[in-house]
Amino acid sequence: MLEAYPPELQDFVKQKIAAGIFQSVDEFAVEAAELYREVDRRREEFKSKVVAGIEQLEAGEYLDLDGDDELSHFFDEVKRRGRERLAAGE
């Protein structure tokens, strides 16, 4: 099955097997597929968040912060509210 990999990946897989990280090419392939599935899930989650963000922007649901002072004030408020919530045990 290793022949199906490009030469540079064959070397990589062989090194990982030799180091004892994987016991076989099949084990490597299963791990790679699981990782790809997770990457794919995260990609889809990210895409849906981007779409939701664009929809919020188009609906006018955003803050327009002008300059460093407004941005600094915004983050100060976020920190203040967070500290209040922590103090309240939320």
Asked if residue 79 is part of any domain, the answer here is yes
Separation between Cα atoms, residue 80 and residue 41, nearest integer Å: 34
- The verdict on pTM exceeding 0.75 is no
* pLDDT, tens digit, 9 for 90 and up, residues 52-61: 999 999 999 9
Structural domains counted in the chain = 1
Asked if residue 68 is part of any domain, the answer here is yes
Asked if residue 76 is part of any domain, the answer here is yes
* pLDDT, tens digit, 9 for 90 and up, residues 14-41: 999 999 999 999 999 999 999 999 999 9
Q: Give the count of alpha carbons within 13 A of 24, CB side only.
A: 4
Asked if residue 25 is part of any domain, the answer here is no
Asked if residue 69 is part of any domain, the answer here is yes
What is the domain extent for residue 72? 63-90
Per 3-state DSSP, the chain is made up of helix, strand and coil in percentages (nearest 5) of 80, 0, 20
